[in-house]
Chains A and B, each alone.
Chain A
């Protein structure tokens, strides 16, 4: 029988939210400048009370905290949550435990857009600092349309065709990116590489309200399909037999997850393994019911990326390691461990 009751669900969601709060607390504390919780507490209170400036003698700490650390932690939480959520959704939708948010090729479209913008200096022509993310998001949208219509057969989008279409598109775009990189030799090469490895620096330097709202709406759509995703994980025909309008479900979730992924990739680059590993981790502990798996993965993804980014900022301080490198370094061995310990297939 379902081990879930609403009470139990609330308890564990609150638990994960508290862990996220603790992780955020750690993340705003550590860094090149150590800001103890007492100090950051009084800065927050001062800020929340709506008084301008900073508490006495804490001007420097207040600036670091409010202008650098908090936006950075918030960015990490948003990106981590979005990637893990989309990973969980796509794993169910494609019935493939190896799926992640990048599997449908949306990310490579975004990457191509970003690389083109960097290499051809779009920023100096138009859009300024927003040039790269706008180009990346456009790339993601075009890829979404492309993959969708490529995968469509007689008005249906079979999961396997979608997977293949995504894979092919991804491979094709990556080839173009490689070609472009091979032609680049100046400092733009560094920019491109840095973008591709994924980092939160750019996102944290911009206002977060818009993207927060965007991700919130997208996540709400996905959360609302959690029960249908449980059934979809049993197979499309089974889901139909149990009352799900499968084609509609696939279209809504596929498009929502792609739009979320496209936006996140556009502002943070390719941060790997969060979307792949976190859903497995949550399933291992709490089971595969998507009513918990989706919000649980979002929270766990937020926690993980906030911690990973803290490491990225501090391990070689004052210089910074791209957070995508940290998640891959931690995520890959962990994934191997999962694979060896439990097996991810259906028959282990």
Chain B
């Protein structure tokens, strides 16, 4: 693999605003690179510099080893196609005419399009599902239709490299997926090199081989989606807290925004301890946090879904080693948290011998006069040899409140709370 397009220590500024300071980026032939970064981090500007539309103040862009600013525009247009975010046309060109303009770099000054040009344009329109828009004036199309027409025009250029500026921002989910699948297919079939600006981190993660994260005019991170899209990177660049999961089908990272962590003012509303596991506590914890409660969890094994989420949210937790039964030590920590809590919530989770003590802790809390709210659990999978059922019975007899689902959770937590 060789660098087909590279920016070498590029400096660029708009009047009064510096955009890039010594930025280098190189696209390998046949790569799909997702370019992400917050608003005004310079993504679109970088795209224009790579295409030679904007001249860097210092540094060079090399296309196949040649300085891009010295190449004739028509030669660049035969190699690089750009799909802009939007395009306004003041005259009534039809969608078909717009697509056919992608053939312009191949035509002489006085030549008319030949059948071959029409065929190539039609193929592009077929691939982007806009054949039926051919005769419609471009300015009458919806934003999503326009984006697909512009993609078809880019394909008509038969480029080696395609630079996309949020090509799916106006598309419905079906066309979003289709366009990304199309890009991937062209990449596989024709070895097309792709640079794709995206605000949708998950689409970028799903369809990029490499993700480049821009931050304040510099390359903050570059690597596989899993390497770049970490909670830490996103927190530092986007200044927001997210949870990074994995797409169970593709294995690509999946970013779930969960907002900024609550400040200690949340203490006012009281404290809730949640007994949970395997992701059963996520929903309640988030909702209680948003209502201003202090939330603690336990006992959880390190690596458990609830544990990861709790860590991201900065919650107090009683922890146990991965895949280990609850020990004396973690049990005590849990008791501490329960002592400090005003309410105890027992989520619906799988109970086995290893975590049976969590139910025991709830029973103890109940006996100490804490209000315990229990999500009804049919124990369809009981791995505790029947002991779980007896714990639930004790909870019921001891006066715990049973609720069938989360709809009444907040109400029960807040009832009689000063």
- Which A residues fall within an 8 A CB radius of B? 1-6, 9, 92, 95-97, 224, 227, 230-231, 233-235, 237-238, 240-246, 283, 287-289, 291, 345-348
Contacts and interface: CB of A to CB of B under 8 A. Distances in A.
B112 A1 contact: no
Q: Which of A95, A227, A231, A244: most chain B CB closer than 10 A?
A: A227
Given A234-B89, A240-B53, A2 B104 contact: no
Contact of A287 (B75, B92, B107): B92
A281 B10 CA distance: 48
B82 A241 contact: yes
Contacts of A288: 91-93, 97
A295 to B, nearest CB: 12
**A-B pairs, 4 with minimum CB distance:** A243-B77, A243-B105, A243-B74, A1-B96
Given A233-B93, A347-B139, A241 B113 contact: no
A96 B91 CA distance: 9
A214 to B, nearest CB: 22
Contacts of B53: 237, 240-241
Contacts of A243: 72-78, 104-105
A14 B72 CA distance: 36
A5 B112 contact: yes
Interface in B98-145: 98-102, 104-105, 107, 109-110, 112-113, 118, 121-122, 134, 139
Nearest to A236: B53
B118 A1 contact: yes
A96 B78 contact: no
Contacts of B100: 1-2
B267 interface: no
Contacts, number: 105
A72 to B, nearest CB: 34
A113 B101 CA distance: 42
Contacts of B134: 1
B279 interface: no
Nearest to B97: A2
Interface in B68-89: 72-78, 80-82, 84, 87-89
A303 to B, nearest CB: 22
6 contacts: A224-B109, A241-B80, A241-B84, A243-B73, A243-B77, A283-B91
Contacts of A95: 90
Contacts of A348: 139
A242 to B, nearest CB: 5
A231 B74 CA distance: 12
B334 interface: no
A283 B73 CA distance: 28
Contact of B102 (A3, A227, A242, A289): A242
A346 B77 contact: no
B51 interface: yes
A283 B139 CA distance: 15
B307 interface: no
A241 B102 CA distance: 9
Contact of A242 (B88, B96, B104): B104
Contacts of B82: 241
Chain B interface size band reads 35 or more
Given A1-B96, A233-B89, A288-B92, A242 B105 contact: yes
Contacts of A4: 112
B157 interface: yes
Q: Which of B75, B92, B99: most chain A CB closer than 10 A?
A: B92
Nearest to A342: B92
B286 interface: no
Interface of B: 48, 51-53, 72-78, 80-82, 84, 87-94, 96-102, 104-105, 107, 109-110, 112-113, 118, 121-122, 134, 139, 157
A243 B121 CA distance: 17
A229 to B, nearest CB: 10
Contact of B110 (A224, A241, A242, A283): A224
A1 B94 CA distance: 7
A295 B72 CA distance: 28
Q: Which of A97, A244, A291: most chain B CB closer than 10 A?
A: A244
Contacts of A238: 84, 87
Contacts of B89: 233-234, 346
Contacts of A241: 51, 53, 77, 80-82, 84
A207 B77 CA distance: 47
A348 B138 CA distance: 11
Q: Which of B76, B93, B121, B157: most chain A CB closer than 10 A?
A: B93
A307 to B, nearest CB: 26
A235 B138 CA distance: 14
A345 B84 CA distance: 21
B5 to A, nearest CB: 14
A242 B77 contact: yes
Contact of B72 (A237, A242, A245): A245
B187 to A, nearest CB: 20
Contacts of A3: 94, 97
A195 to B, nearest CB: 34
A140 to B, nearest CB: 27
Contacts of A234: 87, 89, 93, 98, 101
A346 B139 contact: yes
A53 B105 CA distance: 56
Contact of A283 (B72, B92, B98, B99): B92
Contacts of A345: 90
A128 to B, nearest CB: 43
Nearest to B93: A288
Contacts of A2: 96-97, 100, 113, 118
A1 B110 contact: no
A234 B84 CA distance: 12
Contacts of A1: 94, 96-97, 99-100, 118, 121-122, 134
B73 A346 contact: no
Contacts of A97: 90-91
A234 B254 CA distance: 38
A99 to B, nearest CB: 10
Contacts of B81: 241
Contacts of B101: 230-231, 234, 242
A22 to B, nearest CB: 28
A289 B101 CA distance: 11
A75 B107 CA distance: 36
B48 A245 contact: no
Contacts of A289: 93, 97
Contact of A244 (B52, B73, B88): B73
A2 B96 CA distance: 6
Contacts of B78: 243
Contacts of A233: 89-91, 93
Contacts of B92: 283, 287-288
A15 to B, nearest CB: 18
B201 to A, nearest CB: 27
